[in-house]
């Protein structure tokens, strides 16, 4: 790990999958109250169901692989079946943007973050990622299977991912006008979140 990734006293979310969802809910999702929310990579909607407990003004879920069955769709809760890189090609205002379980499947996560900042202009951004290895390396990504990156039919894609270090994401968001509010290590015994981090940034209004 890069020595400037986290402070030594960074708190840890640990335990099983329920502990993970409870920890994220406790520390991060209260910001969703009465806000317009964009959740990217919703999957079945387990985290979306937690978001809705905080009574957001609206929730838009972008998930091309499956229907978010854990939530009920209505005028204020929408599901978009699309690749976020294609859908987020025009202004899509949202006060809070959340993306969990996605960055480590991408070869260009900083590009997605640029799209979020430029087209959503959110007040708050909440992301997670795996702890990036050092030295950095591209890894093979088997696209369009469960648990991997999803692309549109016929879209020619590069079959790699590149986990981006926390300090690079943090410096990039700082450069784009966002300040780190808080972060946690993810050290659960639930494999998808066994080696990573979660963090929240807010837009600098000065």
Q: Among 38, 121, 50, which residue's Cα sits nearest to residue 79?
A: 38
d(CA 76, CA 171): 34
What's the pLDDT score for residue 7? Answer: 67
Q: Is 40 in contact with 68 (CB distance < 8 Å)?
A: no
- In sequence order, the 6+-apart residues with CB closer than 8 A to the CB of 119 are 88, 89, 90, 91, 92
How high does pLDDT run on average in the chain? 92
Q: Over the stretch 84-127, which tens digit does the pLDDT of each residue have?
A: 999 999 999 999 999 999 999 999 999 999 999 999 999 999 99
Q: Is 36 in contact with 122 (CB distance < 8 Å)?
A: no
Longest dimension (CA), the chain: 47
Q: Determine the 3-state secondary structure of 81 from DSSP.
A: coil
Pairing of strands 178-188, 196-203: antiparallel
Q: Over the stretch 140-165, which tens digit does the pLDDT of each residue have?
A: 888 777 777 878 788 888 899 998 99
Q: What are phi and psi of 184, to 5 degrees?
A: -135, 145
Q: Among 138, 64, 136, which residue's Cα sits nearest to residue 105?
A: 138
Whether pLDDT at 5 is above 70: no
Whether pLDDT at 199 is above 60: yes
Q: Determine the 3-state secondary structure of 14 from DSSP.
A: strand
Whether pLDDT at 62 is above 70: yes
């Amino acid at each position: 790990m890069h020595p400037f990734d986290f402070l030594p006293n960074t708190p840890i979310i640990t335990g099983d999958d329920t502990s993970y969802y409870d920890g994220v809910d406790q520390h991060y999702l209260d910001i969703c109250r009465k806000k317009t929310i964009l959740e990217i990579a919703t999957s079945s909607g387990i985290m979306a169901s937690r978001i809705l407990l905080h009574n957001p003004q609206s929730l838009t879920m972008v998930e091309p692989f499956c229907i978010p069955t854990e939530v009920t769709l209505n005028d204020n809760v929408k599901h978009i079946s699309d690749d976020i890189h294609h859908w987020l090609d025009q202004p899509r205002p949202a006060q809070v943007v959340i993306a969990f379980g996605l960055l480590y499947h991408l070869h260009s996560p900083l590009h997605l973050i640029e799209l979020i900042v430029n087209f959503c202009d959110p007040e708050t951004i909440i992301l997670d990622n795996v702890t990036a290895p050092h030295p950095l390396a591209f890894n093979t990504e088997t696209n369009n299977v469960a648990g991997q990156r999803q692309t549109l039919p016929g879209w020619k894609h590069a079959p790699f991912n590149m986990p981006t270090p926390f300090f690079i994401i943090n410096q990039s968001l700082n450069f784009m006008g966002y300040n780190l509010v808080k972060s946690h290590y993810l050290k659960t015994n639930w494999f998808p979140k066994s080696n990573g981090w979660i963090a929240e940034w807010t837009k600098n209004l000065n």
